[in-house]
Amino acid sequence: MLLTRLAIAPRIYTRPASLLSFGSRSFYRFRSNLPENFNPKTDLPSEGEWKHIKHHIPGESIQKNDLKSRVPKFPLVKEIVPTLLPRPGVPQVGDQYSFKQVLNILKRKTKPELIYEAEPHRLYFLASICFAVLLTVYGLVLLEYGVYESSERYKLNEKELTKELLDREWVFDVAKFSIPGLILLRFALAAARFPTRLIRRMWYLPGRVEHIKFTSYPMFPGQATPVFTVPLENLVRSKRAKVWTGRGFYGTADNSHFYFALRETAPKARSWVVDRKGFFWSDGRVFDVLFGKESVAEAELGIPYDEQFGIINRGVKKQKDQLRAQHGMFYKYKLQAAEMKKDFKRAGDWVGSRVGIEENKQNNDKKLLEDEKKNKKH
């Protein structure tokens, strides 16, 4: 009905009086979306709106350790959606700052600087609990089987052992059959403790000796948040786990690896998990310098490992194409034949040199014998 009225109603074009004022230097924007009564002093976000916005700014929200914060929301697709906004005041590499300048800004900080905050780890909790329950069930089943098999052997007593030897044999059988179950239970405990290795927030602590402070999850809900402080030189990432990938808002997204690990070398050899989906200070290249111990020039290039292998493979392919164009389709066999020819020539030269040495040795021996005979005659 509305469309019909719009089609029937005559179109009346009016020239907006406020479009342009030739008599004054100011002009008004045509069809502006700004409200007429816009006043930045009075139209600031309300307290409820500010609390909502503050919850999405890295470092501003209160991270809780209750059970509700560990239970994922359904559908699980909600847990994949990013919720953190860029932190205000963090410099970005671009026209205004180079990567070296951004890194110098971080190094010149005098107070702890938040450099990382993860998104909620509810999916990690769900996966670790499911995996721990699965391993626990299998481990208990294997333990039950071990006790049952040992008891059956004890009852049958096929070797006709005495009671003392039979009891000792039963203990050995229980220990032998229970080893697989105990191994699975150990893995189940490791899976249950996996969330305690997840890094939630990370701060860079400047000073003579640079430190990294980070928080993780307690083992059980309701406990205090564990805080760790480690010297920067003792916290390294794997050589192959490059943080910078060039994809995503911070250049850290990776389709195959959704996290990277930081290894603590001293005083305890521990590993920590950093989710790639989170807030990173500036971008991932800063973390390659801090934890990958890369030079500023190497990190600034921002060449991921996949691309490095791609460059090498493209160079090898180009070299093969050149050899194929120069020697033909069977260039491999031609080059192999040329190398074999060189090897045979080297072998022939070596054999010839050895034969020549032996001949010279024999001639020298003959000459010495002749000289001795002549001396005896005289």
Note the pLDDT tens digit of each residue in 215-248.
999 999 999 999 999 999 999 998 778 899 888 8
Cβ neighbors of 290 (< 8 A, separation 6 or more) are 115, 204, 212, 232
Greater pLDDT, 291 or 79: 291
For the chain, give the number of residues: 378
Average pLDDT over residues 331-344: 82
Q: How many other C-beta atoms are found inside a 10 Å radius of the C-beta of residue 299?
A: 25
Out of 38-47, 117-126, 150-159, the most confident range is 117-126
| Residue 35: pLDDT band with limits 50, 70, 90 | low
Q: Do 126 and 283 meet the contact criterion of CB atoms below 8 Å apart?
A: no
* Banded pLDDT at 41 (limits 50, 70, 90): low
Mean pLDDT of 32-41: 56
* pLDDT computed for residue 38 by the predictor: 55
The pLDDT confidence band at residue 368, using thresholds 50, 70 and 90, is: confident
Q: For tokens 């050589």, what's the residue?
A: 239
pLDDT at 324: 81
What pLDDT, on the 0 to 100 scale, is given for residue 255?
A: 82
290 vs 271: CA distance, rounded Å: 16
Confidence of residue 15 (pLDDT cuts 50, 70, 90): very low
Q: What is the pLDDT of residue 16?
A: 43
pLDDT band for 40, please (50, 70, 90 cuts): low
Q: How far apart are CA 70 and CA 129, in angstroms?
A: 11
The proportion of the chain whose per-residue pLDDT surpasses 70, expressed as a percent, equals 86
Q: What is the largest CA-CA distance in the chain?
A: 146
Q: What average pLDDT score do residues 348-363 get?
A: 76
| Sequence-ordered list of residues with C-beta below 8 angstroms from that of 26, at least 6 positions apart, any chain | none
Q: Specify the 3-state DSSP secondary structure of 138.
A: helix
pLDDT tens readout for residues 302-321: 777 667 667 778 888 888 88
77: pLDDT strictly greater than 90? no
376 vs 60, higher pLDDT: 60
The per-residue pLDDT for 36 is 61
Confidence label for 129 from pLDDT (cuts 50, 70 and 90): very high
Side-by-side strand order, sheet with 270-275: 235-237, 259-264, 270-275
Task: Average the pLDDT over each of 60-64, 167-171, 328-332 and give the range with the smallest value.
Answer: 328-332
Q: What is the pLDDT of residue 374?
A: 72
Q: If you average pLDDT over every residue of the chain, what do you get?
A: 82
Question: At residue 44, does pLDDT exceed 80?
Answer: no
- Per-residue pLDDT for 13 more than 50? no
